Amino acid sequence: MSRLAGRREVLTGLALTPAALAWPGPRAKGTDLPASLARAAARSGRYFGAAARIDQLRAEEALRRTFLRDCAWVTPEVHMKWDALAPSPHQFAFEAADGLASFAKDHGLKLRGHALLWDPSTPVWAKSALAEGRDWAVVSRHFAAVVGRYREQVDTWDVVNEPIDAGAGPRSLKPNVFFQAFGPDYIARALQEARRHAPRARLAINEYGFDYDNPVERRRRAAFLRLLHDLKSRGAPLDAVGLQAHLDLGKGPLKAEIISPFLQRIADLGLKIAITELDVRERDFRLPLAERDRRVAEEVRAYLDIVLAHPAVEGVTTWGLTDRLSWLQDQETAARGDHNRGLPYDGQFRPKPMYWALRAALAGAVA
Ligand code: XIL
């Protein structure tokens, strides 16, 4: 048994005795694991980051401390979405986004801008204006205000978030408010618009639902590759893609023979890849806690071992750090009394087996 595997098992066994896992936990001494996720990732020239909210970082010292130890990048979980920034047409609300940007600057974190166009976070006033007027100026004013404001700081922008719908006609694009107003060209136009305001930022499309071997995700992968190919062949300023990687224990085993060729085809188009929203949705909440945590950790390890074998994958971001603040604690889960454990830390910032899986996978990845 390798040292790392042995270590993971030991920790899995400890998961039921929280005191034993209180940070700093069992020392990395005697193993060759670097002391944080960011340092583990840096070993292969990659980064580790997490989504965060400035109100939560301000309110919780333990979150702040954990975040600064483990993360080199931050993605605003909500503050840079259009509805958060522009509650009405002539009113901006930059306070939270500015706060997170300052936090990033003060601590030397890189910032991922998320996300310029996403139908569910488009404010009602903008949706009506787009539906009625089909006026691109609504989009360009938004980009000018937001991309312009953070141009010196945002490394990569998610310009379009979640455009794919594998069941939606020949182009497999969601018939969202932008598609309805401007047709399929809205994606290329958005990239050009973003480039005008941020000549140096990297521009990305961010998308979910590519990880498993089932007919829906197979169609989604094919549709996404078609979209990327089309954009590149038309010269659209697209530099990178974000793969959300919301893993799901109900969707069957992860397969390298499915994921690797997909990543390779993205890389072949000259695009960089980031894993942008990693977390794990559990399905069986009745299992013993140690078994649940083991399954989550194994899923993450399996996924990272596949994707980190690709040089085009530049970094990994989890969608938060602690289960307590995870978006996976949704209404449905809460109504059942379940608590999803799909992030590296529990509610008291004790590292769970997923944490050690992340650290070992990041540290062990080939540069
Ligand atoms: C989610 C946030 O986590 C929630 O707090 C918010 O209410 C809705 O958005 N895909 C994305 C993210 O690209 O922006 C979403 O974040 C999760 C799914």
Q: Which two tokens stand for residue 239?
A: 């530099």
pTM: 0.92
Is the CB–ligand 1 distance for residue 78 below 6 Å? yes
What values do phi and psi take at 183, rounded to 5? Answer: 75, -175
The residues near 21 (Cβ < 8 Å, ≥ 6 apart) are 11, 14, 15, 350, 351, 352
Give me the residue label for tokens 């929280």. Answer: 18
* Structure-block tokens of residue 216: 């829906």
For the chain, 367 residues long, give each residue's pLDDT as a single digit of tens: 333 333 333 333 333 333 333 344 444 433 566 789 999 999 999 999 999 999 999 999 999 999 999 999 999 999 999 999 999 998 999 999 999 999 999 999 999 999 999 999 999 999 999 999 999 999 999 999 999 999 999 999 999 999 999 999 889 999 999 999 999 999 999 999 999 999 999 999 999 999 999 999 999 999 999 999 999 999 999 999 999 999 999 999 999 999 999 999 999 999 999 999 999 999 999 999 999 999 999 999 999 999 999 999 999 999 999 999 999 998 888 899 999 999 999 999 999 999 999 999 999 865 4
Q: Is 162 a catalytic residue?
A: yes
Half-sphere exposure of 20 (CA within 13 A, CB side): 10
Q: How far is CA 345 from CA 38, 70, 159, 197, 209, in A?
A: 15, 11, 30, 37, 24
Pocket test residue of 54, 210, 319, 331 for ligand 1, highest count of atoms within 8 A of CB:
319
Measured distance CA(21)–CA(40) in Å, rounded: 20
Which three-class secondary structure state does DSSP give residue 246? strand
The residue from 277, 282, 298, 299 that is catalytic is 277
